Amino acid sequence: MGFLAPVRAAPEAAKAKSSTPAAANETAKPKTATLTAEELAGFDELSAATKELLRTALALTARGLAYKAGSADPDTGGTDCSGFVYHVLQKHGLTGVPRQSNGMYEWAWKAGTFRACNGRTMQSFEFQELRPGDLLFWVNSTKDSKTDRDPPVTHVMIYLGKRRSDGHPVVAGASDGRSYDGQRMSGVSVFDFRLPSPDSAARFIGYAHLPAKKK
């Protein structure tokens, strides 16, 4: 892997200080990073629909939005992880999209587009069908690793592809704690795509191509 490009902060987030724990019911100050579509490897070869979806997602990462639990409306100042994906897919013209990450997992699974991943590295054959615009799913990713969901899907993001400069895999979404180029981010941002460490309770379970739009 080549050099890692320096983090470029989203305009509104450039002045934000490093994130500190927010008080109860208070939205944490955003610290986010963004990319342009042209910085993604192979972007010109993608379908028009996928280009549109990625541009929509990247535009949100450039707004300096916070991680805001329970929100799917960026105009309120932020979204949560599934709220980000829900908003992007709605903008993309997909109907019937569930609001929560576990619902999105079920939606994709029933549509037959989900691909399970049990490998310990991204070199596993299971990642061979992964493509830009796919949804990514994690289980047990809450801070206390507890959830009453069954299956315990608690996190979703959108796969952007790889950076043109160095082949580094990246994703877009909302998080309060994931990193980009080794720096902790908080908000609607571009993030590194990496699998959880073996000792983590969180686990990446797979990805899904978007179900076809209903005519």
Q: Average per-residue pLDDT in the chain? A: 87
User: Does residue 114 sit within a domain?
Assistant: yes
| Residue 128 or 199, more confident | 128
Q: Which of 190, 157, 10, 163 is nearest to 89 (CA)?
A: 157
One-character DSSP codes across 125-149: GGGTT--TT-EEEEES-STTS----
- The count of structural domains within the chain is 1
Max Cα distance, the chain (Å): 47
Give residue 73's pLDDT band: very low, low, confident or very high (50, 70, 90): very high
User: Does residue 161 sit within a domain?
Assistant: yes
- Kind plus residue range of the DSSP H or E element containing 67: strand 66-67
Give residue 100's pLDDT band: very low, low, confident or very high (50, 70, 90): very high
Give residue 15's pLDDT band: very low, low, confident or very high (50, 70, 90): very low
**Token pair recorded at residue 71:** 């929100």
> What is the rounded CA–CA span in Å between residue 49 and residue 210?
11
Q: What is the pLDDT of residue 202?
A: 84
User: Does residue 19 sit within a domain?
Assistant: no
pTM score of the predicted model: 0.86
What CATH number is attached to the domain comprising 101? 3.90.1720.10
**Exposed, middle or buried, 12 (CB in 10 Å: 0-12/13-18/19+)?**
middle
**pLDDT over 60 at 19, yes or no:** no
Q: What is the pLDDT of residue 142?
A: 64
User: Does residue 173 sit within a domain?
Assistant: yes
User: Does residue 112 sit within a domain?
Assistant: yes
Share of residues in the chain with pLDDT > 90 (%): 71
> What is the rounded CA–CA span in Å between residue 93 and residue 97?
10
Q: What is the pLDDT of residue 200?
A: 80
User: Does residue 115 sit within a domain?
Assistant: yes
Span 120-155, pLDDT tens digits:
899 999 999 999 999 999 997 666 566 777 888 999
Which structural domain, as residue segments, surrounds residue 79? 31-208
| Residue 28 or 131, more confident | 131
**pLDDT over 90 at 72, yes or no:** yes
Helix (H, G, I), strand (E, B) or coil at 9: strand
User: Does residue 73 sit within a domain?
Assistant: yes
User: Does residue 63 sit within a domain?
Assistant: yes
Q: What is the pLDDT of residue 209?
A: 97
